[in-house]
Structure 1
Amino acid sequence: MRVQKILVAVAIAGFTLVGCKNENTSTTKKTEVVAAKQQMVALHISGMTCEIGCAKTIQSKLSKKEGVLEAKVVFKDSVANIQFDANKTSKKDLIAFVDGIAGGDLYKATEASE
């Protein structure tokens, strides 16, 4: 019985030391965090024929694109207002992305003049 208690105590101590060691090694790794460089762009989108099928699809796909922080497509104005992280994507990349939605045959995006 006494041997079992000693083995259990040694096992608990071993798990504690191993757990602490893993925590310490993960904190010594250097991870670089780059602050988001937020920018806005308004894109004029031609080729949209409906609010539900076109505008909502474009908005959904833009919202899922890496670097896009927020996307809002207004069908009646044919405009997509996009807030994005310039460290991860660019205006040119966003225009090409919209142009490529639905196989690249339906929509054409250009930067809207303010």
Structure 2
Amino acid sequence: MKIQKLIFSVVVVCFVLTGCKKEVKKESLAVNKQNVSLAISGMTCEIGCAKTIQSKLSKKEGVLGAKVIFTDSIANIEFDANTTSKEDLIAFVNGIAGGDLYTASETSKKVSNKTSKTHTCTEDCKEKCDTKNGKKECKEDCKMDCCADKTEKKTK
């Protein structure tokens, strides 16, 4: 009797193990890499704002890479167009921190490094900026957050 129970148990375990080995093959589309540059207003610091946005974007489904450059208020994002879209990414950034802090919009400007001398001014700041040789630079009397660190360096 014990042998019959043992054989029956082994047979049941074999059926369970072979039945559980079904692998569901997921259809995968080829990655459709696209890039978008977003101008982000509302960032006040590099560590808190820019790094938070970059971290959240990097974790978003469909994002292959994200780089947020605080000094230029630009986010360069590489994404899979099969999974997400530019509009979805803009809405995602706008929704970070409850949707009250950041505003993103598509821009054609791409910045590749953190030490860029160019500066993207916000709408309120544009009248306080000079354009020299095609680059926007803050005037010394500009008190806007986006220019604060740049005007301090000039006066020292």
Considering the TM-score relative to the shorter chain, is it more than 0.5?
yes
Question: Counterparts of 1:53-92 in structure 2 under 5 Å?
Answer: 53-92=48-87
1:101 equivalent in alignment to 2:99: no
- Residues 36-85 of structure 1: CA distance to partner in whole angstroms, max 9, x if unpaired? 32211111212211101110111122122222222121112211111111
Tell me by how many angstroms 1:35 deviates. Answer: 2.9
Q: Map 1:1-114; keep pairs closer than 5 Å.
A: 3-23=1-21, 26-27=22-23, 31-114=26-109
- The alpha carbon displacement at 1:105 in A equals 3.1
Task: Give CA deviations for 1:4-30 in whole Å, capped at 9, x if unaligned.
Answer: 12321231122112321332xx34x56
Could you say what the CA RMSD is over the residues aligned between the two structures, in angstroms? 2.0
Matched residues in 2 for 1:4 and 1:96: separation?
A: 65
Structure 1 length as normaliser, TM-score? 0.78
Task: Choose between structure 1 and 2: higher helix proportion.
Answer: 1
Structure 2: give runs of 5+ residues left out of the alignment.
110-156
Structure 1 segments (4+ residues) deviating >3 Å: none
Relative distance call for 1:102 and 1:22 in structure 2 (3 A) is: closer
When residues 14 and 106 of structure 1 are mapped into structure 2, their CA distance, relative to the original with a 3 A threshold, is closer
Change in 2 beyond 3 A, CA 1:7/1:102: closer
CA distance in 2, matches of 1:88, 1:76: 30
Inter-partner Cα distance in structure 2 for 1:100 and 1:14: 51
Q: Structure 1: which 5+ runs fail to align? A: none
Secondary structure at 1:69 match in 2 = strand
The two structures have a TM-score, normalised by structure 2, of 0.60
Aligned length in residues:
109
